[in-house]
Amino acid sequence: MATMTVVFGTDFPVEFDLDNHAIADLWFEKMQIRNRWPMDDDRRFYGFGTTEQECAIAEKKLRDCIETINSYQTIIERAWTSIYDQDLLNYLHSIFERFHGLLDQQHNNDWWRQAPESVRKALADLNISVHRAEHASRGGRPRVVCTWFGMPKDKELEPHLMSKYGRTAYEFGGVYLNYVEIGKTLEDLTKDNDQYISDDAFQPFLRYSADFNIRFYDEMADIANMYRYYEKNKDFFLSKNIPRFDDHRVMPYRYRVARIKDSLDRMSLIAAIASRQHITDIYFS
């Protein structure tokens, strides 16, 4: 069984055993070619500080993105309120979707093609920063996200694999496939009560790449609340040919591909990572 080692800071390697199933194998194949693309950000750590600290970081990142984007062209017209204003965060996410384009639509997006590279990066970071703000404002628990800029996201999971290996809970120390679509799942729509999302921006979790996240907590999906949202908006989902709530395209599946080896106790592990919020290496053995 292969082992992945993630090095936090310069001196804290943490080992993860790969799971033995088809989805983990697909992800491992992608990880073997990840170095062809740069990592988006080797400091995407969430929930390792106090809520006040996390919210301050999230607000600064969001406001920097907005300033850079609007210095090129004023496309964000709403005044700043607070990262606790979910309606504002939904609006900012809609700006990202509109001016960036969905995952396979950038080549048709004149604004994106004509914008300077610094503005493109700020728009891409706007998406990341919105999710950071949502996580911080909700008192989100510790997780780490690793993504690779420009890596193709053209492979889809097969439905039978999704139903077989998808789970509706996160486990402490689990390594999970990252959502790579540009849009929102049913679970996201439910959490955000999003009034800005377009028909096209509802995007089920279907495609994957090397991108992954590590969860340092246990959590069950809020299926009951998702089901109420689905029933309330059933005509919309019927129009997408999703007639049942247990369809793999709307279920809140988490695809675990590796899990942490026996290590320090949980609180000691989280404290060690909190003081080393920088990934310096990832390798397999």
* Per-residue model confidence as pLDDT tens digits over 79-92: 999 999 988 998 99
- Mean of pLDDT values over 147-164: 92
Any idea what DSSP says for residue 167?
B
Tokens read off for 120:
């493109």
* Per-residue model confidence as pLDDT tens digits over 137-150: 888 899 999 999 88
Q: Give the pLDDT score at 102.
A: 66
- Could you give phi then psi for residue 133, rounded to 5 degrees? -65, -40
Are the C-beta atoms of 3 and 18 separated by less than 8 Å?
Answer: yes
Tokens read off for 140:
């989100």
Are the C-beta atoms of 213 and 178 separated by less than 8 Å?
Answer: yes
User: pTM of this prediction?
Assistant: 0.85
Higher-pLDDT residue of 95 and 282 is: 282
Percentage of the residues of the chain whose pLDDT score is greater than 90: 70
Q: Chain-wide mean pLDDT for the chain?
A: 91
**What residues does each domain of the chain span?**
49-141
The separation between CA 174 and the C-alpha centre of its own chain, rounded to angstroms, equals 15
